[in-house]
Amino acid sequence: MRLLTGEMKSKQALIAELSTDARPTPFRLSVPLDVIGTDAPHDIVLRHLGCHLELFAGGVLVDEEWPLGSRLPAEGAVGAAGDTVMRIACGIAA
């Protein structure tokens, strides 16, 4: 799993990716930066529950996906099997 900023649908966005063995490119969740703002830090949570992937910004669910396949070995498991949470507080510079 990884978090990055980049362009999605012609807008700058916060992007979360999860790689699985089901497809060559990662599953992507995103939220436009103009929606969450860039003037203050945000609590970002990326939660993987095996069959469901959720992206929260400031405690609000902003995107979700139902990925196929198993996480690639490089993705590693954090916490209990099938329950991976990545939580960070980040400031995003526009």
Of 32-36, 71-75, 76-80, least confident by mean pLDDT is: 76-80
The CA distance from 42 to 7, in Å, is 19
Instruction: Please state the domain count of the chain.
Output: 1
pLDDT value at position 73? 63
Q: Classify the phi-psi angles of 39: left when phi > 0, otherwise alpha if psi is within -120 to 50, otherwise beta.
A: alpha
The CA distance from 67 to 75, in Å, is 14
Range of the structural domain that residue 84 is part of? 2-90
**Length of the chain counted residue by residue:** 94
Whether 62 contacts 54, CB under 8 Å: no
How much is the average pLDDT of 35-42?
Answer: 83
DSSP 81: T
The model carries a pTM of 0.73
pLDDT at 62 over 90: yes
pLDDT at 90 over 80: no
